[in-house]
Amino acid sequence: MLLWRGAMAGGRDQLGPLERVTRVLVALVAAEPKGIPTPRLLKIAAFGGGEEHHVRQLKRLIEDLNTAGWDIRNTAPPGQTAVYRAFAGDNRLRLTLTPAQQAELARAALIAGDSEFAERAGIEGTRAEPIPELRTAQRAGQDDALDKVLYALERRCRLRFVYKQRHRVVHPHFVYPGTSGWHLVGHEDGSEKDKRFVTDRMSAVRVDLPRTAHPRHEPFRDELDPLTWGVDEPVDVTVETTPEHRNQVETLLGTPSYHEVDDDVVRLTIRVTHRSAFRNRVYELGPRVSVLGPESIRSELLAELESFLD
pTM, rounded to two decimals: 0.35
Residues 208, 256: one domain?
no
pLDDT at site 204: 92
Residues 241, 305: one domain?
yes
Residues 134, 188: one domain?
yes
CATH number for the domain harbouring residue 236 = 3.30.70.240
pLDDT at site 118: 60
Neighbours of 108 (CB within 10 A): 21
Alpha helices, H only, 112-202: 117-121, 145-155
In a domain, residue 10? The reply is no
Answer yes or no: is pLDDT of 166 > 50: yes
In a domain, residue 5? The reply is no
CA distances from 94 to 28, 71, 97, 147 (A): 19, 10, 6, 24
pLDDT at site 128: 38
In a domain, residue 9? The reply is no
Higher-pLDDT residue of 206 and 93 is 206
In the chain, DSSP finds a helix count (H) and a strand count (E) of: 10, 12
What's the domain range around 233? 224-309
Residue after which a domain boundary falls, among 165, 200, 223: 223
pLDDT per residue over 136-161, tens digit each? 433 433 357 888 888 888 788 999 99
In a domain, residue 1? The reply is no
**Least reliable range by pLDDT among 239-243, 296-300, 304-308:** 304-308
Residues 101, 219: one domain?
yes
Strands (E), 151-213: 159-163, 166-178, 181-188, 195-198, 203-207
In a domain, residue 8? The reply is no
CA 228 to chain centre: 15
Q: Considering its fold, how many domains does the chain have in total?
A: 3
Do residues 238 and 274 touch, judged by C-beta distance below 8 A?
A: no
pLDDT per residue over 2-21, tens digit each? 443 333 334 343 446 677 78
Residue after which a domain boundary falls, among 184, 199, 223: 223
Residues 199, 269: one domain?
no
pLDDT per residue over 190-216, tens digit each? 888 888 898 889 999 999 988 899 876
pLDDT at site 207: 92
Residues 218, 131: one domain?
yes
Answer yes or no: is pLDDT of 116 > 50: yes
